[in-house]
Amino acid sequence: MRHRERTLQLIDTQSGGDVSRIVTSGVEPLPGATVLEKARWLQNEGDGLRRLLLSEPYGDPAMSVDLIVEPAHPEAQAGYIIMEAMGYPLYSGSNTICTATALLASGAIPMTEGLQDVVLESPAGLARISARVTDGRVVSITTQGEPAFVAEEGLSVEVPHYGTVRFDLVWSGAYYAMVDATEHGFTLGAAEQIALTAFGDAFVRAARPGLRHEHPELGDVGPLPFAHFMGPLRTSGDGAYESPSATYVHPGVLCRSPTGTGTSARMALMARRGEIGEGDTLETVSPRGSRFVGTVLQEARVGAFPALHSTITGTARLIAHSHLTVDLDDPLVDGSDLEHVLSVQSDAGLTSA
C-alpha cells in the first residue's frame, strides 16, 4: 500500500524571540478572492494545517505559522495568512517582520541594497514595509499595518483568585485587553513569565463573555485572543518613551517579543489619553529583554472610531530552511481537515492561491 506522504517547505525565522514558520510550498491553492477570504476558508475547512505545525511532534504552540499565498491587491508582492495558538489573527507585527525578511532573504522578492519598499497583503489589508538591507542582509523591517483604535474604555471583570481586573479594549490587528501590570504587582521581568501566563489565562477566560466580536469593517473576528500587560512609562525626552510590556496569547502562550500589534495598541491607548502624539516613539521591552520600536503617524478613522496609524520596527533572523515530511498515516496526524489542503507534489515555488 502506498504511503500517504506530503512535503512542506518552510523557512523558520524569529523576531524578538518569537518563532514564525513561513510555509512557502506544499499547500494547494486556497479558495477566495482576497487573502481575508482565503484565511477564513482555511480556518473553517483546513485548520489541520495550523494544528499540525503548532503541535507536537511537528511544532510548538508558542510558534506562529505564516502561509504564503497569492495576493489579491495589485500593489502587493505576496499575501500571507497568519496562524497562532489562538487561531487566525488578521495582522501581526512580528509575523510581518518575519515574513518580509524570509521572502527577501530567499529571493522570492528580489532584494536591493539600502532602503527597499515592500507591500504584503495580510487578511486585514495591506502591510506597507520599509526593509533596510546592508551587505545583502535584511537588518531591520519597519511595517505599517491597519490603524488601531480604542473600542471600549474603563471595563472591569472579576477574575477568580485575582480579584477585580480593570482593562481597556483596543483593536490592533486583533482585539487586545490592555491591563496595567503594576496594579497586580507585576514588574514584567523574566522571573514572572509563568505567573503572567497563569494570570493571562484566568483573565481572558473571565473577560471573554460579553466582549465584542465585531470589527466595523472586517466583521466577526472571534472572541478575545490577547491580553497586553503594560508597565510604567519612562521617557528620555523629545517624545521618546520606553515601557516594559508583555503579551499573553490565549490559550497558554506568553510572547517572547513585546509584539508589534501590542505596541500599536498601547500607542493608540496613549494617544487617546493625550500621552503621545505624531512623531513620538514607544519602545516596548518584553520580559525576555527583546525590543520593538513603535512610531506614531497620523490620525485615522475606522467606522465610527477615531484611530491611529503607526509603524513598528524590528529585526528578524533566519533559523532554518527545511523540507517537512507529513505522514498522513501517522496516528499523531489528524488528516481529516488537512489532507485536501496539502499538495500531492510540492515544488520550490511559492504557494499559489
Q: Where in the chain is the domain with CATH 3.10.310.10?
A: 5-112+317-341, 148-316
Determine the Cα–Cα distance for residues 275 and 272; give it in Å rounded to an integer. 8
Give me the amino acid identity at 207: A
Question: Among residues 1, 88, 3, which one has the least CA distance to residue 339?
Answer: 3
1 has pLDDT over 60: no
- CA torsion, ordered 152, 157, 159, 163, to nearest 10 deg: 120
Q: What is the CATH number of domain 148-316?
A: 3.10.310.10
Contact partners, residue 258, CB within 8 Å, separation at least 6: 16, 245, 246, 247, 284, 285, 286, 290, 291, 292
For 32-91, write each residue's pLDDT tens digit: 999 999 999 999 999 999 999 999 999 999 999 999 999 999 999 999 999 999 999 999
347 has pLDDT over 70: no
Contact 168, 209 (CB under 8 A): no
Contact partners, residue 161, CB within 8 Å, separation at least 6: 202
What is the Rg, in whole angstroms, of the alpha carbon atoms belonging to the chain? 20
Higher-scoring residue by pLDDT: 351, 96: 96
What's the average model confidence in pLDDT over 275-290?
Answer: 97
Alpha-carbon distances of 308 from 76, 117, 276, 343, rounded to whole Å: 22, 21, 11, 41
For 149-179, write each residue's pLDDT tens digit: 999 999 999 999 999 999 999 999 999 999 9
Question: Among residues 115, 114, 209, 119, which one has the least CA distance to residue 159?
Answer: 209
Question: Among residues 135, 10, 149, 24, which one has the least CA distance to residue 79?
Answer: 24
Residue 2: band (very low, low, confident or very high) from pLDDT cuts 50, 70, 90: low
Determine the Cα–Cα distance for residues 100 and 119; give it in Å rounded to an integer. 9
Q: Is 154 exposed, middle or buried (0-12, 13-18, 19+ CB in 10 A)?
A: exposed
Q: Is the dihedral of CA 188, 201, 216, 126 positive or negative?
A: positive
30 has pLDDT over 60: yes
239 has pLDDT over 70: yes
Give me the chain's average pLDDT, please.
Answer: 95
Q: What is the pTM of this model?
A: 0.94
For 267-277, write each residue's pLDDT tens digit: 999 999 999 99
What's the average model confidence in pLDDT over 17-21?
Answer: 97
Report strand pairing: 240-249 vs 234-237.
Answer: antiparallel
Q: Which fold has domain 5-112+317-341?
A: Diaminopimelate Epimerase; Chain A, domain 1 (3.10.310)
Which residues are the active-site residues? 92
Residue 146: band (very low, low, confident or very high) from pLDDT cuts 50, 70, 90: confident
